[in-house]
């Protein structure tokens, strides 16, 4: 038992786009002892199954497919000779940053880390979200599972398909199934608007004449062993099905695209404080969680729809983790959380939730999502009672992430600042 | 003279402006509803020559890691050829090793566009 525990400067949990960008940035910030832990047998995360184009428009000014976007970061990590341990699942992270892993090759191992970056991504909301009575026959898939079956395994989940939920994965799968020869009967969405990107509605539904039924939901699933039909009804403003509006659609497959949840079992067990809104860690300007030296980025922090923003955010987390790991003396003090950023009046949440003006960079991007579809609203930032930003946006929707930029000099100029508020205003 | 009116959504930015394109005898005479010139250009192209990049997968033989390899048309192809492209690819089995950008099927469905691998296999 006298073996010395394995030790690394920055340990990154997850080798998707967030983990890769964090690893590269940590290396470039001067910390060369970086280790990436990935449970899958390959790097790239969810991008491996996202074979459609539309990635990297902001970063590379071209439309890449998911695997191509991932490959650019994988190659960069290889050029820097960053250690990546595949087939290695992280089981536990302690508040002292001891990471426990398991793999077929090495069994159980413990690794001490000066800094940890959480980059575990997200998972789909389970089908329990489908509040229908009756059996649970075969043929009900989450859209992401179906995507993996078709694109990685080369198997077709079914031939007559109804999709519930118009998030991007549902829209992308409507097109994918159509191209593979299936018939997509319709996409039903309980909200009066789609949570997906406009370009996906046009290119995945309109191009193929697939109807999008807004304010509709599945009220019944028929079939004992295999789905035989689903019934869809219109809903009222309070999202209750309206009696008499049911229509029965024969089908063999029901796909659910009802949202994503950050994958935070590990964070929770480590004692990281989580936000009830994003379900991800509450972080400060350095993307540091409530545990000093533990940082978070990508979909584990809050669900992103554009991978470019994941990469940007993760690069920041990686660099901050590197600084933390190299500034040993600054470590482990009680985390000073800085000025709280409050989201209100149509702004659902902000990342980060705290800003320490002393420690922030010259400019800090605060990302947020709005609660509803809005036209001609102003995005306002208040420092205490003083309005410092007021910018009109023609259209905002919950499906698209928004941002404001805070300047360090402005914050430093206001000594004793107690609260930063981000909200929407009509004028 | 035949007048046709087409309703579209501009997809060039998150604004998603609703466009109304008016055609006379197949010629675009006006685009309205756009907020910026990109919407005008999109509307004209979308009704006269809509094009798309097609992405799909084909089986791959001889790869240690993959059963399927993801592919795309190297550039966009006419929208009405999407299914021709997909059908042409149904016959294709790719041979490993493959690098990103390797041609999997040249001049797919007579479009003059190659289909290339988007993943190593
Ligand atoms: C279907 C779909 C379509 C999308 N389309 C687009 C698009 O068109 N354009 C665009 O820009 N963006 C798109 N996105 C968004 C973008 O792909 C994601 O936001 C991005 O991939 C998130 O990156 P991530 O690294 O945070 O998570 P992931 O890619 O999910 O990576 C997380 C990684 O962590 C690993 N992991 C998790 N837990 C553990 C553990 N305990 N131990 C070890 N490893 C672990 C996982 O195996 C995984 O590899 C899409 C997303 C989806 C799901
Ligand atoms: S017309 Fe201009 S502003 Fe409107 S969606 Fe298109 S690109 Fe955006």
The DSSP result for chain B, as a single string, is --EEEEEEE--SSTT--EEEEEEETTEEEEEES-SSHHHHHHHHHHHHS-EE--EEEEEEES-SS-SEEEEEESS-EEGGGHHHHHHHHHT--EESS--TT-EEESSGGGSS--EEESS--
Q: For A142-154, write each residue's pLDDT tens digit.
A: 999 999 999 999 9
Mean pLDDT along residues B110-114: 96
Is A265 exposed, middle or buried, given 0-12, 13-18 or 19+ CB atoms closer than 10 A? Answer: exposed
Are A314 and A404 members of one domain? no
Q: Are strands A98-103 and A107-118 parallel, antiparallel or unpaired?
A: antiparallel
Which among A285, A319, A335 is the end of a domain?
A335
Q: Residue A48 and residue B119: Cβ atoms within 8 Å?
A: yes
Looking at the structure, tell me whether residues A212 and A321 fall in a common domain: no
Alpha carbon distance A185, A171 (integer Å): 13
- The reported pLDDT for the residue numbered A68 is 97
- 3-class SS of residue A116: strand
pLDDT category at A130 given cuts 50, 70, 90 is low
- What is the tens place of the pLDDT at every residue in A160-178? 999 999 989 999 999 999 9
Token representation of residue A7: 């030790």
Q: Does one domain contain both A400 and A416?
A: yes
- Give A 160-219 residues with CB within 8 A of chain B: 179-180, 197-199, 201-203, 206-207
Average confidence score pLDDT of chain A? 92
Mean pLDDT of B42-70: 93
Q: Rounded CA gap, A69 and A60, in Å? A: 9
Distance (Å) from the alpha carbon of A118 to chain B's nearest alpha carbon:
26
Does domain B55-117 correspond to CATH entry 3.40.50.620? no
Mean pLDDT of chain B: 92
Residue with more model confidence, A131 or A355: A355
In this prediction, the answer to ipTM > 0.90 reads no
Q: Residue A124 has what pLDDT?
A: 87
How does residue A59 score in pLDDT terms, banded at 50, 70 and 90? confident
Q: Specify the number of domains making up chain A.
A: 3
Confidence of residue A24 (pLDDT cuts 50, 70, 90): very high
Helix ranges (DSSP H) in A119-273: 143-148, 168-179, 198-200, 265-270
Mapped onto helix, strand or coil, the DSSP state of residue A236 is: coil
Lowest average pLDDT, out of A128-142, A241-255, B54-68, goes to A128-142
- What element of type H or E holds A218? strand A216-222
How many percent of chain A have pLDDT more than 90?
A: 81
Q: Which ligand 1 atom sits closest to the C-alpha of A101?
A: 42
Average the pLDDT over A64-86 and give the result. 97
- Per-residue pLDDT for A180 more than 90? yes
- Per-residue confidence (pLDDT) for residue A330, from 0 to 100: 55
Q: Which of A421, A285, A301 is nearest to A352 (CA)?
A: A285
List the B27-32 sheet strands across, edge first.
Answer: B3-9, B18-24, B27-32
CA–CA separation, B76 and A263 (whole Å): 36
Residue A332, CA distances (Å) to A123, A267, A292 in order: 31, 18, 6
Residues A302, A178, single domain; the answer is: no
Asked if A297 and A310 sit in the same domain, the reply is: yes
pLDDT at site B83: 96
Residues 82..101 of B with a Cβ closer than 8 Å to A: which? Answer: 82-83, 86, 100
Residue A334 reports pLDDT greater than 60: no
Q: What residues of chain B, 18 to 77, have a C-beta less than 8 Å from chain A?
A: 35, 52-57, 59, 65-68, 70, 72
Helix (H) or strand (E) holding A422: strand A420-425
CA-nearest residue of chain A to B75?
A: A63
Question: Do residues A99 and A248 share a domain?
Answer: no
**Lowest pLDDT segment from A4-13, A261-270, A322-331, A376-385:** A322-331
Domain boundary among A223, A258, A293: A258
The pocket around ligand 2, CB under 6 angstroms, is made up of B 10, 12-13, 15-17, 34-36, 38-39
Predicted pLDDT at A193: 87
Helix (H, G, I), strand (E, B) or coil at A18: helix
A276: containing domain: 1-124+260-335
Q: What is the pLDDT of residue A54?
A: 85
How many residues are given for chain A? 427
Q: How far is Cα A75 from Cα A324, in angstroms, rounded to an integer?
A: 26
pLDDT at A71 over 60: yes
**Lookup: tokens for A122:** 């997200």
Residue range A290-315: average pLDDT? 95
Over range A13-26, report the average pLDDT. 98
The count of other CB atoms within 10 Å of the CB of residue A228 is 16
The CATH number assigned to the domain holding A149 equals: 3.50.50.60
- DSSP-assigned states of every residue in A46-112: GGGG--SEEE-HHHHSS-EEHHHHHHHHHHHHHHTT-EEE-SEEEEEE-TT-EEEEEETTTEEEEEE
Q: Would you state the pLDDT for residue A2?
A: 44
Query: Domain boundary residue among A335, A369, A399?
Result: A335
In the block, residue with structure tokens 């404001």 = A404
The per-residue pLDDT for A426 is 94
Q: What stretch(es) of chain B map to CATH 3.10.530.10?
A: 55-117
Selected residue of B33, B43, B57 to mutate for chain A interface (largest A Cβ count, 10 A): B57
Sort strands A374-383 and A363-370 into parallel, antiparallel or unpaired. Answer: unpaired
Contact B100 A67 (CB under 8 A): yes
Q: What is the CA radius of gyration of chain B?
A: 19
| Chain A contact present for B9, CB below 8 A | yes
What confidence category does residue A399 fall into, taking pLDDT thresholds of 50, 70 and 90?
Answer: confident
Q: Which of A78, A64, A72 is nearest to A34 (CA)?
A: A78
Condensed to tens digits (0 to 9), the pLDDT of residues A203-212 reads 999 999 999 9
Q: Give me the mean pLDDT over the A203-230 stretch.
A: 94
The answer on A356 and A280 residing in a single domain is no
Q: Are residues A271 and A235 in the same domain?
A: no
- Is A253 in the same domain as A267? no
Give B93: exposed, middle or buried? Use CB within 10 Å, 0-12, 13-18, 19+.
exposed
Segment A359-364 shows an average pLDDT of 92
Q: Does A332 have pLDDT greater than 60? A: no
- Ranges A129-143, A179-193, B75-89: which has the least confidence: A129-143
Strand partners, B69: B58
Say whether both A120 and A264 belong to one domain: yes
- Asked if A213 and A293 sit in the same domain, the reply is no
Chain B: residue whose CA lies nearest to A196? B14
Q: Do A119 and A265 belong to one domain?
A: yes
Q: Which two tokens stand for residue A100?
A: 């426990």
For residue A132, the model assigns a pLDDT of: 65
Contact A44, A70 (CB under 8 A): yes
Which residue did the predictor score with more confidence, A372 or A178? A178
């Amino acid at each position: 038992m006298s073996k010395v525990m394995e030790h690394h400067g920055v340990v990154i949990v997850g080798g998707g786009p967030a983990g890769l960008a964090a690893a590269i940035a940590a290396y470039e910030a001067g910390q060369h002892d970086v280790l990436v832990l990935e449970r899958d047998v390959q790097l790239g995360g969810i991008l491996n199954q996202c074979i459609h184009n539309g990635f990297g428009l902001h970063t590379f000014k071209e439309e890449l497919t998911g695997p191509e976007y991932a490959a650019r970061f994988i190659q960069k990590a290889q050029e820097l000779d960053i250690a990546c341990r595949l087939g290695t699942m992280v089981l536990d992270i302690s508040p002292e940053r001891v990471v426990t892993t398991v793999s077929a090759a090495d069994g159980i191992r413990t690794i001490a880390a000066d800094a940890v970056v959480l980059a575990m991504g997200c998972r789909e909301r389970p089908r329990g979200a489908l509040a229908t009575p009756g059996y649970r026959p075969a043929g009900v898939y989450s859209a992401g599972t179906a995507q993996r079956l078709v694109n990685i395994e080369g198997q077709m989940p079914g031939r007559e398909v109804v999709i519930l939920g118009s998030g991007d994965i549902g829209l992308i799968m409507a097109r994918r199934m159509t191209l593979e020869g299936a018939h997509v009967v319709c996409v039903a969405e309980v909200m009066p608007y789609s949570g997906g990107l406009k370009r996906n509605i046009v290119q995945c539904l309109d191009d193929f004449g697939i109807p999008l039924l807004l304010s509709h939901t599945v009220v019944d699933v028929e079939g004992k062993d295999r789905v035989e039909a689903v019934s869809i009804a219109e809903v009222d403003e309070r999202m209750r099905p309206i009696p008499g509006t049911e229509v029965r659609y024969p089908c063999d497959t029901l796909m659910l695209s009802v949202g994503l949840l950050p994958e935070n079992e590990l964070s929770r067990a480590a004692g990281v404080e989580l936000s009830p809104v994003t379900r991800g860690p509450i972080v400060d300007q350095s993307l540091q969680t409530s545990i000093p030296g533990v940082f978070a980025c990508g979909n584990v922090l809050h669900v992103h729809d554009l991978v470019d923003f994941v990469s940007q955010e993760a690069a920041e987390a990686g660099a901050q983790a590197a600084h933390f790991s190299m500034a040993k003396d600054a470590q482990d003090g009680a985390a000073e959380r800085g000025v709280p950023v409050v989201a209100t009046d149509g702004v659902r949440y902000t990342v980060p939730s705290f800003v320490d003006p002393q420690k922030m960079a010259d400019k800090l991007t605060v990302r947020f999502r709005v609660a509803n579809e809005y036209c001609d609203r102003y995005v306002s930032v208040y420092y205490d009672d003083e309005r410092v930003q007021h910018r009109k946006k023609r259209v905002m929707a919950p499906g698209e992430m928004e941002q404001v930029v805070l300047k360090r000099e402005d914050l430093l100029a206001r000594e004793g600042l107690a609260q930063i508020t981000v909200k929407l205003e009509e004028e | 003279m035949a007048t046709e009116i087409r309703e579209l959504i501009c997809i060039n930015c998150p604004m998603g402006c609703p466009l109304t394109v008016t055609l006379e005898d197949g010629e675009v005479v006006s685009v309205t509803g756009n907020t910026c010139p990109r919407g005008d250009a999109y509307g004209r192209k979308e009704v006269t020559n809509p094009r798309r990049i097609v992405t799909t997968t084909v089986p791959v033989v001889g790869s240690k890691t993959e059963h399927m390899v993801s592919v795309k048309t190297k550039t966009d192809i006419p929208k009405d050829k999407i299914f021709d492209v997909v059908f042409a690819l149904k016959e294709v089995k790719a041979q490993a090793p493959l690098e990103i950008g390797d041609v999997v099927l040249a001049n797919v469905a007579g479009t003059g566009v190659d289909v290339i691998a988007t993943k190593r296999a």
